[in-house]
């Protein structure tokens, strides 16, 4: 179980001029969309200095040079690791490349953080964890939603006894029509799946963290593809996706049982006939309940059922959650402070997702090891 009380004060720290004794020599592998958010966040983290990057596409290396002044760009990570010898590799490639890049990095003596999801499946996650352990390197997953001020609000309420025993959590990452029309998000062999592994993972990781990271033991669910594999015929925010290569689901629905009896329900879509997009988890406990959107605690108080909304929470806007997650990893390396999303957390989340996909393929409930 996560020791949430150990971390809940982190957001109260006032950001002052920080004295930094040592800077980590950091390198980015995969210089596409999300790496740019990492670069912006890193500019606010004095413990990190980016010394190199890698992408199979030379035009992305040029972006890193022109926009961020990163001169040392490589098309192969082996060359980057050998010539630059960074302290940390920050993996921002498509999902199917997370495992080989992390394993190569830790074997070369680097600490590694990888974007979400941790990998394609639990076997790859385990391989990454084993390689990091064998080489005595730190490994983290770039789950940023567990740093969200609303998750910290929930964590404090739980620690204060407002929630009681948690029985049920519903995770919803639902788009009415939001199939990415860039990248390889529709290709199962490169991504491992569709909305559940791509956007559902954000809600699943943060909810799983909030409920104390119980061990998943069984899953039941189904997936459906009915829009993404056809040309877009209605107005939508990202029309013209590559429907010919679309091999992932439009909608995933699942239920996961944990070893403490708690049930997680998962609803995730790129396309669903619903009123509006939903990004939420709902928690039901014996003493209180909680909604991520809109940061509301449900409880009984002095003879009345109360819906208590936060009067103030820090902003989660801009790149603040990325600053939080990258800084947590940097501090973990430099100061030995606890990692909020170590490889083991990534593996547990991957087992949840994989369990629902396996159940969908089997047409029945499946056990999770
Ligand atoms: N945390 C978040 O909120 C968030 C948001 C978006 C994406 N992501 C994750 O980030 C990852 C990348 O997503 P993106 O949107 O930046 O995709 P992208 O397609 O924009 O960028 C990926 C980059 O990786 C490069 N690449 C592919 N194979 C490579 C290899 N073998 N070696 C080096 N580079 C390689 C590509 O050329 C591309 O430039 C995915 O895992 C995605 O799930 C996370």
Give per-residue pLDDT as tens, 40-92: 999 999 999 999 999 999 999 999 999 999 999 999 999 999 999 999 999 99
Tell me, what's the pLDDT at 14? 44
Tokens of 354: 């994989």
Residue 82 burial by CB count (10 A; 0-12/13-18/19+): exposed, middle or buried? exposed
Helix axes 98-107, 77-84, angle to 10 degrees: 20
Domain boundaries, the chain: 18-145+321-342, 148-316+348-367
Provide the mean pLDDT of the chain: 95
9 CB-near residues (< 8 Å, 6+ apart): none
Instruction: Identify the CATH assignment for 148-316+348-367 out of 3.30.360.10, 3.50.50.60, 3.40.50.720, 3.40.109.10.
Output: 3.30.360.10
Buried b (16+ CB within 10 A) or exposed e, 233-252: eeebeeeebbeeebbbbbbb
Tell me, what's the pLDDT at 315? 93
Give the separation between CA 76 and CA 96, rounded to whole angstroms: 16
User: Residue 300: how many CB atoms within 10 A of its CB?
Assistant: 10
Tell me, what's the pLDDT at 3? 37
Tell me, what's the pLDDT at 21? 79
CA dihedral 237, 151, 198, 279 (to 10 degrees): -30
Choice from 28, 29, 31, 32 to test ligand 1 binding pocket (greatest atom count within 8 A of CB): 32
Q: What is the DSSP letter of 243?
A: G
Instruction: Report which of 323, 342, 327 is spatially closest to residue 37, judged by C-alpha positions.
Output: 323
Tell me, what's the pLDDT at 176? 98
Q: Assess whether the region 18-145+321-342 and the region 148-316+348-367 belong to the same CATH fold.
A: no
In this predicted structure, which of 164-168, 267-271, 314-318 has the lowest mean pLDDT? 314-318
Tell me, what's the pLDDT at 32? 96
Tell me, what's the pLDDT at 33? 95
Check whether 1 has a pLDDT greater than 60. Answer: no
Domain 18-145+321-342 annotated CATH 3.40.50.300? no
Q: For the whole model, what pTM was predicted?
A: 0.95
In the chain, the percentage of residues whose pLDDT exceeds 70 is: 95
Q: Nearest residue CA, atom 39 of ligand 1? A: 32
Instruction: Report which of 308, 175, 188, 183 is spatially closest to residue 251, judged by C-alpha positions.
Output: 175
Ligand 1 near 100 CB (within 6 A): no
Give the separation between CA 59 and CA 52, rounded to whole angstroms: 15
Check whether 15 has a pLDDT greater than 80. Answer: no
In the chain, the percentage of residues whose pLDDT exceeds 90 is: 93
Ligand 1 near 57 CB (within 6 A): yes
Tokens of 54: 């890698």
């Amino acid at each position: 179980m996560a020791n949430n009380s150990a971390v809940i004060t982190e957001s109260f720290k006032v950001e002052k001029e920080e004295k930094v004794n040592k800077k980590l020599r950091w390198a980015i592998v995969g210089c596409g969309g999300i790496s740019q958010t990492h670069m912006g966040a890193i500019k606010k983290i004095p413990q990190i200095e980016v010394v190199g990057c890698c992408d199979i596409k030379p035009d992305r290396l040029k972006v890193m040079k022109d926009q961020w002044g990163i001169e040392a760009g490589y098309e192969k990570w082996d060359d980057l690791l050998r010539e630059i010898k960074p302290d940390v590799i920050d993996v921002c490639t498509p999902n199917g490349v997370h495992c080989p890049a992390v394993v190569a990095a830790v074997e070369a003596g680097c600490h590694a953080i990888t974007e979400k999801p941790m990998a394609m499946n639990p076997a790859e996650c385990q391989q990454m964890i084993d390689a990091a352990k064998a080489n005595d390197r730190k490994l983290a997953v770039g789950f940023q939603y567990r740093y969200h001020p609303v998750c910290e609000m929930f964590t404090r309420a739980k620690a204060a006894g407002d929630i009681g025993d948690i029985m049920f959590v519903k995770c919803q990452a639902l788009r009415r029509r939001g199939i990415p029309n860039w990248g390889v998000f529709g290709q199962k062999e490169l991504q491992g799946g569709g909305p559940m592994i791509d956007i559902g993972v954000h809600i699943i990781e943060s909810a799983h963290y909030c409920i104390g990271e119980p061990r998943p033991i069984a899953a039941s669910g189904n997936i459906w593809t009915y829009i993404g594999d056809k040309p877009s015929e209605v107005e939508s925010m990202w029309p013209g996706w590559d429907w010919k290569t679309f091999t992932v689901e439009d909608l995933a629905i699942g239920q996961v049982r944990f070893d403490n009896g708690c049930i997680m329900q998962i609803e995730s879509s790129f396309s669903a006939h619903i009123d509006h997009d939903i990004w939420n988890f709902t928690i039901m406990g014996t003493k209180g309940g909680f909604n991520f959107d809109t940061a509301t605690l449900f409880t009984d108080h002095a003879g009345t059922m109360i819906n208590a909304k936060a009067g103030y929470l820090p902003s989660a806007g801009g790149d603040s959650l990325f600053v939080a997650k990258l800084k947590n990893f940097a501090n973990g390396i430099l100061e030995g402070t606890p990692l909020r999303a170590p490889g083991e957390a990534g593996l547990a989340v991957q087992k949840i997702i994989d369990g629902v996909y396996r159940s969908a393929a089997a047409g029945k409930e499946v056990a999770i090891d």
